[in-house]
Chains A and B, each alone.
Chain A
Amino acid sequence: MKRFPFLIVVVVVLSGEVVRGQINRDLVIGQAEATPAPSDSFFDDTVLHDISLSVNSKDWRALKDHYLDDTYYPCDFRWRDQVLRNVGIRSRGTGSRSGVKPGLRVDFNRYTSKQSFLGLKSFVLRNNTQDASSLHERLSMLLFHRMNIPASREAHARLFINNQYAGLYLIVEAVDQDFLKRTFAEDGGYLYKYDYPADSAPYYFEDRGSDAKSYVPLPFKPETHDTDPRPEFLVDLVQTINQTGDAAFRSTMTAYLDLTKFIRHLAVEKFLSDQDGLLSDYGGMNNFYFYRFDNQKLFAFIEWDKSEAFKGGVEYPIFHNITDVPAAQRNRLLSRALSYRDLYDLYLDTLIECVKSANEVEAGSADPRGWLEREVERESNQIRGAALSDPERNFSNDEFEQAIRDLTAFAQQRGAFVTGQANAARVP
């Protein structure tokens, strides 16, 4: 009986956090991200890191020769004064795969499941072969962080293979169970990577019927629970998007997706002129993970690979691939969501919020430049030496410098363009 008052308190507190049967994820995410992680120093972007890998010389050649293959090779890993043996690396990427400067996935637990490094089981070394500046991804993820949207932590590093400089790489936090735990305070749910092979039909969240095989393993490739990926929840989600009537759509979707987060995610991508995100210029969707929370129907989008951001340029329209494409090529989820006034306004509001964030001047400083422009300068200065001496760089030094100038111009001009388009799109 003594426990009864305590239980009442717990129930009252929880009732405030439970919205339509689910725990308020904003609170959970906020708490999870606020906790310092042991790996923070590894993603400290105020310094240019050095990473050394000791690999059998034949393996490094084989990894380059067979860069389209996902074969793992063993290596020893060194960062600062820490050496980790028994580590696995493999070639990775889709469009960025390269036999000259391979992108790498580094798995600390490849050969021993319990092995980790600063709490990480793996991370990605992005080769940035499609980005002359090498900054698109890092700048984009920083903006997502500023907008309180979950995204990978990132920092640049010089990679040494058997003591030879192998090029400038971007350290990218892998979207895996460690990421889920840090971001959502849980890792028991179902993580899928949206997989979009070049020869497959673009997907716009249209209803492909109730056959689970139409959704899993393509385009939603299971990353966890791969022997029991529970695709029926994805089928339910897609069918709810496509079949639910207008009257019930919002309330029904609440169990499956936080539409406000989806809209904000999309708005940030659009501000960044991302050509290959949720609304890809190459057709359908691309570059995201999809996570279903443990014991819930609720899904969440997670950003991935922003190397194509900024490429749309300053005047990339904010309704590109939304209203300027035929109906068949419109994202079904977004089309339905934007038909609601509050979500439509949220889209425009988030774009303006991105403008403000990008243009935010440094407090107490006389520097009139906004955050994004200053960040371009800071990061480019940090990596310039390593980028220009990169033995496997995919771009000339002139192209690197021009790309930095283009980013600076973007930072200076994008805000005004987006503001103009957003204001013009306001509905009285």
Chain B
Amino acid sequence: MLIQGLVAIATVASGSMNAGAVPHPTEAFAPSFASVLRSQGWNAADESALGIGQAAAQATDGKSEKKPEKKKKKKSDAIAPDEEVDPDQVVDGGGDAGHFVWKQHPSIRYGKVFRLDVQAKLQEDAHGSYAGARGVACPSTPLPSTCLWELHRNRVGIEGYFFKRIEYEAERELTEQELTDKDLLAGYTPTSLWKDVDVNVSYINNVQVQAGRFKVPFSLDELTGDSHNDFAYRSLGASNLAPARDTGVMLHGRFFKRGLNYWAGAFRHDGDNVRAKKIKGGDGTFAARVTGTPLRKLNKALFSSLELGTALTISSLSDDSFTPNGLRGRTLFNHDTFYEPVYVKGHRRRWEGDIDWMMGPASARSEFMWVTDDRLKQGLGDQDLPDARARSWYVSGTWILTGEPKSRPVKAANELLRGGFGAVEAAARYERLWFDSVNGADKDASFRNPRTNSIFPRGERALTLGVNWIVSRWVKLQFNAIREQVEDRETSPVANGGASWSRVVRFQFVL
């Protein structure tokens, strides 16, 4: 292990020297260097031996545990294509001349002046659900029919930097369909095929500036990259309530060695998730998010990766559109609408709190979201109505059966075609999403129409059980079984309001 560590250090160091990379003056060298080592498969025991990183910190703060930490299973040395790498530690071993390398991605580099990585992400699903489910319906067929296969995501993109501190990225979806002229004339809202298209200026780690199109900083689950999510589908709250991407400008940074992170930005609208063909969505949005590891001082071994987060957004809501502009509730797998949007006007306020914990091969996550929409002058007699409200929560957990330490993405210690089997992870999530109005859930006086004074409460509960097989750094297979039940029989897509099971096997390839 020590030899491997030295080799890694030598590799990284030589790359740094070749690239002429110099750590930024505001950054402490050792902890960041340790994070690179960890990304190369280094573990705490090795860090301790070298006197760096968290293990070293434990050894020097006088409160270290005397008992040596149990040796963890070593992860793969190579960086997975969808693995997030600290840009401060990007190392180029090719010198100042332009050259092509393929470490994490196929990449063209010119010293610290320029870098362009090519990325691709493909997710192909085989799925099934209840009879007649729209989630498994074949697209663009005049008669209802069921398709076993779905090309879920098919994205290509580039990312890189200029002069090391001006980072850029651009990603485009290739399988989604553009709206027709007829759709546009009918007032449908176009959905952008462009995903992340932005520039990030990172001269100061504490205050970085990001501009372009990217995710509004709200919801732990929504902000987790789709290729290394623990489940095939994001949670009900993330899918229905969180904003997702929009165009804007954001300040973000980190303090205390990532012990405190913040994001605060202004966006043109309030994200793609809450817009649809006939839902205009909110306008000008302010969003802020803070995460931190406040408990790590108490017990580093236990709480160093226990991260708490909270976020809020405030958006303006207009009733300019002739169709309701509120949130909608759709089921997890089939996207059956169990809650139609209501008419809204005024402001939309979101708040969420989340917790994310990784401990050895296990992890746990939970998140609660709360959203209210004003309904000014939205009654049948143009009177103000009580706020529309949406809430959601989920709890989830994972366990890597093959023993690797939990990370996102999971890194297999022994990949399938390199003499091993890959990594196998079990996952489970239970969640609820529900809607009503703030004046309570008096079912006798509440209705389902979009201008009702008291909104008839509607919601869904879902249980997802999954197994993830990380075959290699490029390939992952996800097996998910999803049990869903809409709480309102009237809007349930299943006869008599019963529960339904859906299943999906996802093949994922990232480059």
Q: Would A56 and B322 be within 8 Å (CB), given that A74-B450, A86-B452, A216-B143 are in contact?
A: no
For A203-224 the 0/1 string (1 means CB < 8 A from B) is: 0000000001100111000000
Residues of A within 8 A of B319 (CB): 58
A69 at the interface (CB under 8 A from B): yes
Contacts of B141 in A (CB 8 A): 213
Kindly supply a per-residue 1/0 record for chain A positions 43-54, scoring 1 wherever the CB is within 8 Å of any chain B CB and 0 otherwise: 000000000001
Q: Are A76 and B380 in contact (CB under 8 A)?
A: yes
Look across to chain B and name the residue whose beta carbon is closest to the beta carbon of A76.
B380
- Determine whether the beta carbon of B448 is less than 8 Å from that of A111: yes
Distance (whole angstroms) from the CB of B210 to the closest CB of chain A = 38
The answer to whether residues A85 and B144 also contact, given A56-B343, A56-B382 and a CB cut-off of 8 A, is no
Whether a CB of chain B sits under 8 angstroms from the CB of A300 is no
Closest to B185 in A: A68
Within 8 Å by CB of A231, from B143, B186, B378, lies: B143
Separation in Å of the B55 CB from the closest CB of chain A?
A: 59
Q: Is A227 an interface position by the 8 A CB rule?
A: yes
Q: Note all chain B residues with C-beta closer than 8 A to A66.
A: 187, 322
User: Which residues of B are found within 8 Å of A227, using beta-carbon distances?
Assistant: 132, 144
* B142 in contact (CB, < 8 A): yes
Q: State how many angstroms separate the Cβ of B457 from the closest Cβ of chain A.
A: 14
**B380 & A112 in contact (Cβ 8 Å cutoff):** no
- Chain A: how many interface residues by the 8 Å CB criterion? 34
B208 at the binding interface (Cβ < 8 Å): no
CA gap between A227 and B451 in the complex, in Å: 29
- Is A398's beta carbon under 8 Å from chain B? no
Indicate if B299 sits at the interface (CB-CB under 8 A). Answer: no
A54 and B322 in contact (CB under 8 A), knowing A74-B452, A213-B143, A231-B143?
no
How does the 8 Å CB contact mask read for B409-437 relative to A, with 1 for contact and 0 for none?
00000000000000000000000000000
Across-interface contacts of A76 in B (CB, < 8 A): 380
- Asked if A75 is at the interface (CB within 8 A of a chain B CB), the reply is yes
Partner of B447, one of A65, A111, A226: A111
Contact flag A113-B490 (CB < 8 Å), given A69-B187, A86-B448, A228-B132: yes
Complex Cα distance A217/B145, Å?
Answer: 13
Measured in the bound complex, the distance between the Cα atoms of B137 and A226 in whole Å is 13
**Bound form: Cα–Cα A75–B451 in Å:** 8
Given the contacts A56-B343, A56-B380, A71-B323, A212 and B447 also touching, CB distance less than 8 Å? no
Chain B residues, CB < 8 A from A71? 278, 322-323
Contacting residues, chain A, for B490 (C-beta < 8 A): 112-113
Q: Is the CB of B381 within 8 A of A86?
A: no
Contacts of A229 in B (CB 8 A): 143-144
Q: Mark B129-144, 1 if CB is under 8 A from A, else 0.
A: 0001000000001111
* B143 and A69 contact, CB distance less than 8 A: no
Query: Which residue from A54, A68, A88, A110 sits with its C-beta under 8 Å from B381?
Result: A54
Closest residue of chain A to B340 (Cβ to Cβ) is A111
| Residues 36-95 (chain A) with a chain B CB within 8 angstroms | 54-59, 62-63, 65-66, 68-69, 71, 74-76, 85-88
Complex contact B379–A56 (CB within 8 A)? yes
B449 in the interface (beta carbon within 8 A): yes
**In chain A, what residue has the closest Cβ to B381?**
A54
Chain A residues closer than 8 Å to B448, beta-carbon distance: 86, 111-112
Tell me the bound Cα distance from A217 to B490 in angstroms. 26
Chain B residues contacting A63 (CB-CB under 8 Å) are 322
Interface string of B376-390 (1 = CB under 8 A from A): 001111100000000
Q: Which residue of A65, A68, A88 contacts B449 across the interface (Cβ within 8 Å)?
A: A88
Chain A contacts with B in 93-132, Cβ cutoff 8 A: 110-113
A286 to B379, CA, bound (A): 40
Q: Which of B142, B144, B448, B449 has the most CB of A within 10 A?
A: B449
A218 to B143, CA, bound (A): 10
Closest Cβ of chain A to B198, distance in Å, is 35
Complexed CA–CA distance, A86 and B380 (Å): 10
B142 touches A216 (CB 8 A): yes
Which of these, B278, B323, B451, contacts A56 with CB under 8 Å?
Answer: B451
Shortest distance between the CB of B447 and any CB in chain A (Å): 4
Residues 335-392 of B at the A interface (beta carbon under 8 Å) = 343, 378-382
Q: Which residue of A lies closest to B447 (CB)?
A: A86
- 20 inter-chain pairs at a CB distance below 8 angstroms, sorted by A residue, are A55-B380, A56-B343, A56-B380, A57-B382, A58-B319, A65-B322, A69-B322, A71-B323, A74-B450, A86-B449, A86-B452, A111-B447, A112-B490, A213-B141, A213-B142, A216-B143, A217-B143, A227-B144, A228-B132, A229-B143
| A interface with B by C-beta (< 8 Å) | 54-59, 62-63, 65-66, 68-69, 71, 74-76, 85-88, 110-113, 212-213, 216-218, 226-229, 231
| Closest 6 pairs between A and B when the two form their complex, measured CB to CB | A62-B322, A74-B449, A111-B448, A111-B449, A86-B447, A227-B132
